[in-house]
Structure 1
Amino acid sequence: MGERRRANASRGDKKVADGEKQHVGQWGRAWEVDYFSLASVIFLLAFAPLIVYYFVMSCDQYQCALTAPVLDLYSGKAQLSDIWDKTPALTWTAVKIYLAWVSFQVFLYMFLPDILHKFVPGYEGGVQEGARTPAGLINKYQVNGLQAWTITHLLWFANAYHFHWFSPTIVIDNWIPLHKGRTPLLE
Structure 2
Amino acid sequence: MDVPELLCRAACHVPVVAKGEAGTTVADANEYLGHDEWEIALDLLVELGDAYSSEIAFWDLLAEAARMMWLPWTERWCHWRRAEVVHGVVRADLQLVDPDVAGGRRTPIPGDGRLRPLWDIGDVTAAGDPDLYVARLWVESQPDLQPGGRAVVRLAPLSPQRWRRLAAGDVITMHEQMPVVATATIIEAVLPVGDDRKA
Do the two structures share a fold, i.e. TM-score over 0.5?
no
TM-score normalised over the length of structure 2: 0.22
TM-score normalised over the length of structure 1: 0.23
Q: Which has the higher contact order (CA 8 A, sep 6+)?
A: 1
